[in-house]
Chain A
Amino acid sequence: MKYVDEFRDPKLIEKAAEEIRRLADPKRHYRIMEVCGGHTHSIYRFGLQDLLPENLELVHGPGCPVCVLPMGRVDDGLKLAQDPQITLTAFGDMMRVPGQMGTPLEMKAKGADIRMVYSPLDALKLAQKNPERQVVFFAIGFETTAPSTALTLKRARQMGIPNFSVFCNHVTIIPAMRAILDSPDMRLDGFVGPGHVSTVIGCRPYEFVAREYGRPVVVSGFEPLDLLQSLLMLLRQINQGQARVENQYERVVPWEGNPAALAALAEVFELRPYFEWRGLGFISQSALKLRPEYAPWDAEARFEVAGVRVTDPKAAQCGEVLKGVLKPPQCKLFGKECTPEKPVGALMVSSEGACAAYYNYVHCAELVSGD
């Protein structure tokens, strides 16, 4: 396992960082977006920005599922949980996301039947064990988790489980990238493409970024060296005026993605005409809903879903941070009213959220060192 040790080799890291500093043209300012929240977490955890030249700016993208979920959908889910026949199930990350009525965890403390699950299959199992309850799974996430929801729904349909349904909030990354590219206040030179999402969708869907917008995309792993190599690959392309999709994470990501996962997605879901994203607004064809064949397992078809629309707390600037217009500490609430212990905005909740990552690794270190 030699190369594993090499990934921990500080010399290789330094060499890659040196090469990046050498390639970065001092006359230019490079803005590169890492789309995925897992990458944001890694970048802050390993302090990668400190290794980069000042004119290479990393912009944190929208690839954090709880961060982009608008507050209205959280409230819709919580309203479902007020129905005495419903048991609402959700992933742990979701439990601490504040809606207008509070977080799912707080609603649970007030007596709502809300339970944390680690897998959609757990929610299905709960429905089988409690046939007198209506078990609703609050599904969130990008293409990384959507295939799991799809297979769980296929199973529910095959087994004819009548008291299970999904409140579907799955979103897809490509329309969000297009929205960011179309945004007038956003100038980007390239993208570090997501790792795990790409194991499902492959690399081909990013080709429009190169073809239509003339920007390179490099799908990347999560190790510090992976990220530095990806930045290096992007710099080379940008300096040479090229725009291609490259795969730095070949050891995990097949170019064509995962065909079984894609087939499951296509069988169970169709695109919504539009969906609201926190910070990015309404984006057309950017989210998944259940196909009509799956209507009996669609919580939005089975129950009254309020369709709550909520504007974010005025003082919180989650939207600007999500779009990369503001850095986390530039938000007025950062580290004051809004902390990982008591998040006001969703970017403080998940370890993949830019604000939580910045708070945990940069802000706290600065407090300790007295900077």
Chain B
Amino acid sequence: MCLAIPGQIVQFDSPAKHMATIDVSGVKRQVNVDLLRGTPLEVGDWVLIHVGFAMSKISEAQAQEQLRLLTMLGEAEQAMEELEGYQFAEEERSSHA
């Protein structure tokens, strides 16, 4: 649960910008970006995700480093499982479709 998963923003999904679709190693999921309200965010930016919420904006280099660290710690699979397990994301997607 303390995994910090790095992802790249590929689009914003609601007019209020509550949710963004992010890409982590080719897997796309929606996460909540409300905690970065004060931070200018654009498509292409990288963020660290905790339990479905983007918590900090990071550089691409830092994102790659974090992915490698998760792999080294044996937590990369767990991170992808978490990301793919977000159920709220599926629902959000269909409600905005």
Contact = CB atoms under 8 A, between A and B. Distances in A.
Interface of A: 1, 3-4, 7-8, 37-38, 41-42, 45-46, 65, 91-94, 117-122, 124-126, 140-141, 144-145, 147-148, 151, 196, 199-200, 222-223, 251-252, 258-261, 264, 351-352
A132 B80 CA distance: 32
Interface stretch (B7-15, B20-28, B83-91): B83-91
Nearest to A151: B34
Contacts of A260: 34-38
Given A1-B61, A118-B82, A148-B53, 5 more contacts: A8-B68, A121-B52, A140-B1, A200-B55, A222-B69
Give the most central of B59, B68, B69, B85: most A CB within 10 Å. Answer: B69
Given A117-B87, A118-B85, A144 B50 contact: yes
Contacts of A251: 58-59, 62
Contacts of A45: 72-74
A119 B53 contact: yes
A252 B48 contact: yes
Contacts of A7: 65
User: Per DSSP, are chain A's interface residues mostly helix, strand or loop, or mixed?
Assistant: helix
Contacts of A92: 1
B52 A118 contact: yes
A125 B88 contact: yes
A325 to B, nearest CB: 24
A121 B32 contact: yes
Contacts, number: 116
Contact of A148 (B38, B52, B65, B87): B52
A172 to B, nearest CB: 15
A1 B60 CA distance: 8
Contact of B51 (A118, A199, A264): A118
- Interface size band for B: 35 or more
Contacts of A126: 87
A260 to B, nearest CB: 5
9 contacts: A42-B69, A92-B1, A122-B88, A124-B88, A199-B55, A252-B56, A260-B34, A351-B74, A351-B75
B2 interface: yes
Contacts of A223: 65, 69
Contacts of B32: 121, 148, 151
B55 A144 contact: yes
A252 B50 CA distance: 14
B64 A1 contact: yes
A119 B2 contact: no
A286 B1 CA distance: 20
Nearest to A142: B2
A217 B82 CA distance: 32
A151 B35 contact: yes
Nearest to B88: A121
A119 B51 contact: yes
Given A91-B51, A122-B52, A151-B53, A4 B82 contact: no
Contacts of B2: 37-38, 65, 141, 144-145, 196, 352
Give the most central of B38, B65, B75: most A CB within 10 Å. Answer: B65
A8 B71 CA distance: 13
A37 to B, nearest CB: 7
A167 to B, nearest CB: 15
B55 A261 contact: yes
A223 B2 CA distance: 15
A6 to B, nearest CB: 10
Contacts of B85: 117-118, 122
A258 B39 CA distance: 9
